Each structure stands twice: as C-alpha cells, then as structure tokens.
C-alpha cells in the first residue's frame, strides 16, 4: 500500500524556477559563461553542485565548485529574504493538508539547500505537516540519480514501492522511477519543456485528481 508522498519543491511547491533561472543567468554573465536557454533548462531539478560541476568543467572556470555553489545559493537566498518572493504553486497547501488528513507520511525531497527548504515550508505555513525535509546535500549523487528518494524512504521507514513522488522535471521523474517509486509528473510551464514521459501519471495541476490517483493506487494494491 502507499504509505508516503514525497514532494519536490521547486516547480511543485513553489514557482521558483523563473527566479532561479534569471539569477543564474546573471551569474553566468558575470563569469563569462554562455549557454543556451535550452541547455540551461536541462539542469532543472538537479542540484547546484551537479550544474556547477558541469559548467566549471566545460568553461574551465577558475573558481571552485564550492565557491560557485555558494555564490549561486547566496544570490537566491538574499533575493528571497529581500523581496519575499515565494510564489506557491496553486493548490499545494490544500493538497498537502488533504494528504496529511489521510495519514500519509509526507516529505520534501529537493535539490535545494536545507535552509531554503525550511524557509519555504515555513512561509507556506506547512511546516507541521511534513515528517521529513531532505536536501540534495544529504546524499552523494543528486537527481537524476535516485539517491535522494532512497534516502528519504529510509528515513521515513517505508519501502520505495510504498512511495508516490510528485515531480515537475525530467531529472526528478527519472530519479524517482530509478528508485522504484510511483511518480506523478506535474506539467509546470515555468519549469520549461520537461520530458515527463517516464512518470506513471501526468497532471496539469495539483487539484483533487492527485488525491484520486493516490487513492486509486491504494485500491489497486488492495486488489492484488
């Protein structure tokens, strides 16, 4: 049976990808890095370390990966703290509360740093609904590898096949499927043209359809 629902954060809980992309493009210009928007979008869902390792190697940047990640993350956190720009994806608060009422274990598994994850759930007034907040920094390999989801399942004390993941990016969907979990792909235009075809289900919003899908998986398991 399904015991846990795991949420990605950027693009699923908050519409942050446009802000991330804009701020990263500013940093790219400062560093003399020129990549296409299409290539930039391929990093959606992966960690800052994953992206900057690839970019440092390709452009032979003198800065360390750690320094590049620090500058990237500080820019985003400073922006959020100064502007308060945290835009919830429509329906996220209602969905989390409905799943909580149905006694699913709930977790956030995001490539973002833990201080940003904690800030977001607090701003959305959802802190008390989650059993676990997990950052990609907690595992060796980031999405598209399955490590973050396997780590989250272990901490929740559930099996991978007892989890449903909600993701909006190719990297996230692929990681969750590789972990052996059911995946609901959320089409979010602000996350770019993401290939969600590996997902078990694809939805265009976080309405009641998501609850119905998870309930349907419960019934499907019960029949077997």
Q: Indicate which CATH number applies to the domain containing 106.
A: 3.40.50.1000
Same domain for 92 and 162, yes or no, is yes
The predicted model scores a pTM of 0.88
Same domain, 61 and 106: no
Q: Does residue 50 sit in the same domain as residue 150?
A: no
Domain count, the chain: 2
Secondary element (H or E) of residue 155: helix 147-156
Alpha helix (H) ranges present in 14-61? 17-31, 37-41, 48-59
Instruction: Kindly report the backbone phi and psi dihedral angles of residue 134, in degrees, each rounded to the nearest multiple of 5, phi listed first.
Output: -125, 130
Same domain, 115 and 161: yes
Rounded to whole angstroms, how far apart are CA atoms 98 and 133? 19
Q: Which domain holds residue 79?
A: 16-83
Residues 65 and 129 in one domain: no
| Interatomic CA distance for residues 183 and 168, integer angstroms | 10
Residues 130-170: pLDDT tens digits?
999 999 999 999 899 999 999 999 999 999 999 999 999 99
Instruction: Tell me which of 33, 55, 83 is where a domain ends.
Output: 83
**61-119: per-residue pLDDT in tens?**
999 999 999 999 999 989 988 888 899 999 999 999 999 999 999 999 999 989 999 99
Q: Residue with structure tokens 């290539």?
A: 39
């Amino acid at each position: 049976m399904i015991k846990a629902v795991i949420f990605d954060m950027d693009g699923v809980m908050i519409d942050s990808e446009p802000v991330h992309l804009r701020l990263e493009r500013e940093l790219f210009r400062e560093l003399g890095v020129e990549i296409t928007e299409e290539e930039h979008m391929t990093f959606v869902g992966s960690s800052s370390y994953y992206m900057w390792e690839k970019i440092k190697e390709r452009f032979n940047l003198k800065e360390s990966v750690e320094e590049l990640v620090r500058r990237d993350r500080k820019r985003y956190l400073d922006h959020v703290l100064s502007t308060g720009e945290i835009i919830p994806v429509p329906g996220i608060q209602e969905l989390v509360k409905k799943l909580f009422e149905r006694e699913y274990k709930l977790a956030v598994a995001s490539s973002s740093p833990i201080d940003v994850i904690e800030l977001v759930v607090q701003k959305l007034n959802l802190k008390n609904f989650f059993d676990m907040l997990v950052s990609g920094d907690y595992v060796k390999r980031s999405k598209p590898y399955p490590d973050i989801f396997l780590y989250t399942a272990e901490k929740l004390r559930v099996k991978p096949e007892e989890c449903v993941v909600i993701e909006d990016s190719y990297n996230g969907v692929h990681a969750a499927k590789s972990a052996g979990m059911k995946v609901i792909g959320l089409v979010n235009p602000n996350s770019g043209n993401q290939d969600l075809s590996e997902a078990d289900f694809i939805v265009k919003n976080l309405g009641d359809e998501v609850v119905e899908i998870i309930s349907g998986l419960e019934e499907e398991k019960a029949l077997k």
